Structure 1
Amino acid sequence: MNPYSKELTIACLAVQRAAILTRDLLSIVDKGALEKADLSPVTVGDFATQALLISALHYNFPSDHFVGEESADELRKKPALLKRVWELVRNTHLDDADEVFLPHPSSLDDMLRLIDLGGAGQGGREGRTWVLDPIDGTATFIQGQQYAINLALLVRGEQQLGVIGCPNLPATPGTIEETRVDTDGHGCLLSAIKGHGAYIRLMTTGMLSPATLIQKHANSVKVEDIKVTECTTTSSMVLSLHREVFDRLGAAWPGTDLWSSLMKYVALTIGGCNVNVRIVKSQSYKSCIWDHAGGQLIFEEVGGKVTDINGKHIDFGLGRQMSANFGLVCAPANLHAQILKVVQEVIAAEPHMVAP
């Protein structure tokens, strides 16, 4: 039996149930969007998904900690929004699965408390911490495009398990595209336990479907076979330097354009892509751990390697952000050193870029 087998089953079922909730919302024109303090869009789906995920995990693993993107502060200020979230949470069920291990919040106050277990969570190196992004890619979710529901288990700050639900991902994704969505099924779910490979299964509205091992493929890519995944609408990255990196490598840029950070890891794993680079504009910019934990593990389990642009291991044990790391290089293990060298050369040639 694999380690963390119970954790994997509960996590997959919890993500699958949350996927039902988000898919139901896709048919609603007004998804309850509002603006958070950081001006990113958030919907009732973010709050409701976080409540459902933490409710299932906290029941089964009551000593574990949580780090989630959302807090319940806005819900307490907006009674109408709170009512909509509560209705979604209590009315979302798996069709034919035994939900005794996936309880719902017992009351409205309990729901707020569960959401805040994630929002107030600080992470760190002690014990076990579940990291979750209820909807990664909220902007594309609102448009009915690709988005992800992310869960990762950290043990003493290290990734041990990752689950990514992709409700709009077709059963045979090929090259992943924002607008090519699953209209016949319920999307796909990727998962991995450290050292035990990465798997994919179709999502359902009930019990888990069988999982298929994803063959290791990212450790034997040739330079001429580099395929990039990028986000060309980001304001935090230096896209001109990204282009320069791939021009030097002879690779087409921008390649597959995806908004969601987690969907990029999905593309690296099964979507025909194999390299993603992030050169950030400011040293003060630090990525949130829920945008990367779990996704990196899944990519590594098919032969990928992930470091920052200094070649440092990604440290998820320092709180809610990857505060010890600067930028990102995700690449096939056999090409990572070569690509990292080019990234560092491109940065060094730019006088306005201060080496981190």
Structure 2
Amino acid sequence: MAATYPEPSSARLPVDRSVTNPANILPVSSLLETEIGLIRDAVRRAARLCVTSAAASQFWYEKREREPVTAADFGAQAVLLRALIAVVPDDAVLAEECSADLVRAGADVVAGVTTAVAAAVEGAVTKEQVLGWIDHRGGGGNRVWAIDPIDGTKGLLRGDQYAIAVGLIEDGQPVFGALGCPRLELSGMHGVLVWGGPRLGTFVESLGGGKVRPLVVSGVADPGRARILGSVEVAHGDPELLQRVVERVGIGGGWVRIDSQAKYAAVAAGMADLYLRPRNRDDWRERVWDHAAGAAIVAGAGGRITDLDGLPLDFTAGDRLEHNRGVLVSNGPLHDRVLRALAEIG
């Protein structure tokens, strides 16, 4: 049965300090607290659009780099950026979609997206507003929002995992992330919102609302018990290298391939212990919006994120991780062992 999406009872940060460690939750500014509430609400609304709108199956085509885009991608981005404009209109934005691609699809598709956005935000909107929200990129400064309205569009189309991803980068570091994962089962809930950051802790709640629960990475240090995640799409990684790492490190808990930044949520929740994303070609650089939200969430849960050379991810070089080779995400104890294996493999 599809999840339902009631309105949140409050835009405030609902941390239940009776079920988490207060020492791990540092005070946040009132602005960030407000932003977190608004983003959680916006991600819920974008997820509702993706789940309930028939637009995703009515229209899709291949854009740059042969990646698919659906009407739901455009609608979800409009919903997310509408929320940001309301509270931080001058913050910079890196976002995957642009309205020119939507317009190119034709007037009927634009009208369908406008209708879907109106339903998601529960108010009248115009196509001009929707196109403007999609293209909003804010200003400059040290705060950048990284938006992937549907991370894992191929997963959405085939009925597998996908995520609505919003990350906040301050001074080059991901400080907050939110992932709406309508098809992910976590902590006994099907369809979850995972959010947090390195100064906040990491939490999960149902996309339908309810209790907020803390998440922490696993404590697994024995490679024989470790579970590793990889990407479904061969173009997003190097399965042969992943297999060599599994063999060299002695990872015995299994290797699972799933779509999207749902992999970051799985590591943050202790469902998996490692996520390895090699580069599939020398000239490829990862997109910032494919990792900012997930990196903040795993860091908030106590995990570790580097590239395959052990370097921190550099989020300061535009919309790509220009200075990094691949991505390695872990629970912490297994990280250096995997880095050594990667160095030995070369």
> 1:286, CA displacement in angstroms?
0.2
Output the CA distance in 2 between the equivalents of 1:241 and 1:340.
Answer: 13
1:64 aligns with 2:63: no
Shift of 1:74: 1.7
Once residues 326 and 137 of structure 1 are traced to their aligned partners in structure 2, the CA distance between those partners, rounded to angstroms, is: 21
Question: Distance between the aligned counterparts of 1:63 and 1:337, measured in 2?
Answer: 40
Q: Give 1:271 deviation, angstroms.
A: 5.7
Q: Residue 211 of structure 2 aligns to which amino acid in structure 1?
A: P
Match runs of 1:41-120 below 5 Å: 41-77=68-104, 78-93=106-121, 106-118=125-137
Q: Structure 1 residues 43 and 199, CA, compared in 2 at 3 Å: closer, same or farther?
A: same
1:300–1:29: structure 2 CA closer, same or farther, 3 Å change rule?
closer
Q: Which runs of 4+ in 1 moved over 6 A?
A: none
Supply the distance in 1 between the matched residues of 2:124 and 2:135 (Cα, whole angstroms): 13
Matched, 1:2 2:28: yes
The 5 Å alignment of 1:249-264 reads 249-252=249-252, 255-260=255-260, 262-264=261-263
The amino acid that maps onto 1:48 is G
Counterpart residue number, 1:248: 248
Query: SS of the counterpart of 2:149?
Result: strand
> 2:57, 2:224 → 1: CA distance?
45
**Paired position in structure 1 for 2:14:** none
Cα distance change on mapping 1:105 and 1:111 into 2, 3 Å: farther
**Aligned equivalent of 1:188:** 192
Shift of 1:193: 3.0
Check the 8 A contact 1:315/1:325 in 2, yes or no: yes
Q: How does 1:1-356 map to 2 (within 5 A)?
A: 1-3=27-29, 4-25=32-53, 30-77=57-104, 78-93=106-121, 106-118=125-137, 126-170=141-185, 172=187, 182=190, 187-204=191-208, 208-214=209-215, 216-252=216-252, 255-260=255-260, 262-270=261-269, 272-347=271-346
Deviation string, structure 1 residues 306-347 (Cα, Å, up to 9, x no partner) = 111111110111110011111122122222112101111112
Q: How far is 1:28 from its partner?
A: 6.6
Q: How many angstroms apart in 2 are the aligned matches of 1:33 and 1:254? A: 34
Distance 1:165 1:20 in 2: 10
The one-character-per-residue Cα deviations of 1:146-199 (angstroms, maximum 9, x if unpaired) are 11000011112211111000112235469xxxxxxx4xxxx1100103222100
- Asked whether the 8 Å contact 2:55–2:72 carries over to 1, the reply is no
Identity of aligned residues (%): 27
> Deviation string for 1:35-71 (max 9, x for gaps)?
2132211111000000010001111112212111000
Q: State the 1:272 CA deviation.
A: 1.6
Distance 1:278 1:345 in 2: 17
3-state DSSP of counterpart to 1:340: helix
Q: Which amino acid aligns with 1:165?
A: G
Q: Which runs of 5+ in 1 are unaligned?
A: 95-103, 175-181, 348-356
> Bigger shift: 45-54 or 271-280?
271-280
Partner of 2:5: none
TM superposition shift of 1:16? 0.5
Structure 1 position 224, deviation (Å): 2.2
* Equivalent-residue separation in structure 1 for 2:115 and 2:211 (angstroms): 31
Shift of 1:209: 2.9
Asked whether the 8 Å contact 1:219–1:303 carries over to 2, the reply is no
Query: 2:283 & 2:171 partners in 1: Cα distance?
Result: 25
Find the aligned partners of 1:149 and 1:282 in 2 and give their Cα distance.
26
Normalization by structure 1: what TM-score? 0.83
Taking a change above 3 Å as real, the CA distance of residues 219 and 300 of structure 1, as seen in their structure-2 partners, is: farther
Aligned residue identity for 2:233: T
Contact 1:52 1:105 (8 Å CA) reproduced: no
Gaps of 5+ in 2: 1-26
Q: Does the CA-based 8 Å contact 2:163-2:181 persist in structure 1?
A: yes
Cα distance, 1:280–1:49 mapped onto 2, change above 3 Å: same
Letter of the structure 2 residue corresponding to residue 84 of structure 1: G
| CA deviation map 1:242-278 (0-9, x unaligned) | 1011101111486121022x01111212262111122
